[in-house]
Amino acid sequence: MASLDSPITIVRPHLIEFGVGTAGKLGKWAAGKGYRRTLVISDAFNASRIDVLELKGEVTVFAEVTPEPDTANLEKVLAAANAADAELIVGFGGGSAMDLAKLAAVLAGSAQTLQEVVGPNKVHGPRKVALAQVPTTSGTGSEAGIRALVTDPATMAKLAVESLHMLADIAVIDPALTFSVPARTTAATGVDAMAHCVEAFTNRKAHPMVDIYAIQGTRLVGKYLARAVKDGNDAEARAGLSLASLYGGFCLGPVNTAGGHALAYPLGTRWHVAHGAANALIFPHVLAFNTPSAPEKTKAVMEALGCETSGSVTSVFDAAYAFCAELGIEMKLSGLGVPESDLDAMADDAFAIRRLLDNNPRDLSRADIRSIYAAAF
């Protein structure tokens, strides 16, 4: 764990608008900047309600964002971006739409290819277009960050791009946009937001400057997630989760996630399990595994979630598992259609994600990963 005097770099979108009913502020901001041509990158559902953004001028909509987008989906986005010749690109949706918007903002019209920018700090700047992010789920926190991920279908691996040039000029977080999210998705994405916070809080790179966001984000999920699952129109609960998601996004830049996300990724890339659902299923297993290496922080996490434990590995697992299961989340790999015959390949894939595993507070061997998958089956 980093100490208080350890160097750290914190970044935020240049402007953040937060609160129920704020979606229309994007259009007012864009008009004030004089942007006349806008490309909105979205999925089919959210594309049907772009009027809430109150955008003026020539607005082009790309409505074909897919869950867990791959390089083919990105190629379509880039073609649309090049054709639109936009001055402003808007990511409107969940993490998939926002990640593709980031990549479109730096790659459209650029001489660089995706393969040339994979990794940290490889994007050439400055960016030629403005970038806005408007989340419609409470999970990824992508609106706040500088990373974007797409899947390479050939290798079934996530390609991660990290660059300050992908930081949004404005993030508009309107919890009202999440009212329509179904209960099951609300539960899974809420746990994903919490996993961002918890993995950053217990991380080898954890830092006091980030810990405050991480633990508060966890508290917000503990307080509001069950309420939002029960009543999707509970404005206070939805706002609490939107804030938790934003705080989770704040954690990702300087600290990032760890073992939980590394083990969750193969579920999405190989079996197209939604990212939130994958993280929720894996969460109690990795939290319990890490407990011996981060006992005090694990205790703080469980208290933040409102869970009572003795501090033992078993009690931490049981409490975390119950927290997720009681939200209606599927907690078995077999229940998500993952075959037992694929567990070895998944373990190989997860063990190769060193950029995250190296952050984990306790070393996760390939055998440890395989054991966790077996226990989750």
Beta-carbon contacts of residue 20 (< 8 Å; ≥ 6 apart): 174, 175, 176, 235, 238, 239
* Local structure of residue 70 (DSSP, 8 states): B
Distance between CA atoms of residues 221 and 231, nearest Å: 15
Give whole-number Cα distances, 142 to 96, 146, 172, in Å. Answer: 9, 8, 12
> In terms of Cα–Cα distance, which of 131, 157, 128 is closest to 145?
131
Sign of CA dihedral 117, 120, 121, 125: positive
Residue carrying structure tokens 């939002």: 228
Q: pLDDT tens, position by position, for the chain (377 residues)? A: 667 888 988 889 999 999 999 999 999 999 999 999 999 999 999 999 999 999 999 999 999 999 889 999 999 999 999 999 999 999 999 999 999 999 999 999 899 999 999 999 999 988 999 999 999 999 889 999 999 999 999 988 889 999 999 999 999 999 999 999 999 999 999 999 999 999 999 999 999 999 999 999 999 999 999 999 999 999 999 999 999 999 999 998 788 999 999 999 999 889 989 888 999 999 999 999 999 999 999 999 999 999 989 989 999 999 999 999 999 999 999 999 999 999 999 999 999 999 999 999 999 999 999 999 999 99
| Tokens (6 digits) for 264 | 């969750």
Q: In what order do the strands lie in the sheet with 119-120?
A: 119-120, 157-162, 147-152
pLDDT at 1: 65
Beta-carbon contacts of residue 249 (< 8 Å; ≥ 6 apart): 140, 141, 142, 143, 144, 145, 196
Whether the CB-CB separation of 190 and 329 falls below 8 Å is answered with no
| Tokens (6 digits) for 104 | 């479109």
Q: List phi, psi (to 5°) of 38.
A: -125, 140
Q: List phi, psi (to 5°) of 49.
A: -130, 30
Sign of CA dihedral 182, 184, 185, 189: positive
Distance between CA atoms of residues 356 and 351, nearest Å: 10
Residue carrying structure tokens 């991380």: 203
pLDDT at 314: 96
DSSP per residue over 122-163, as a string? ---S--SSEEEEEESSSS--GGG-SEEEEEETTTTEEEEEE-
Sign of CA dihedral 305, 306, 308, 311: positive
Q: List phi, psi (to 5°) of 44.
A: -60, -40
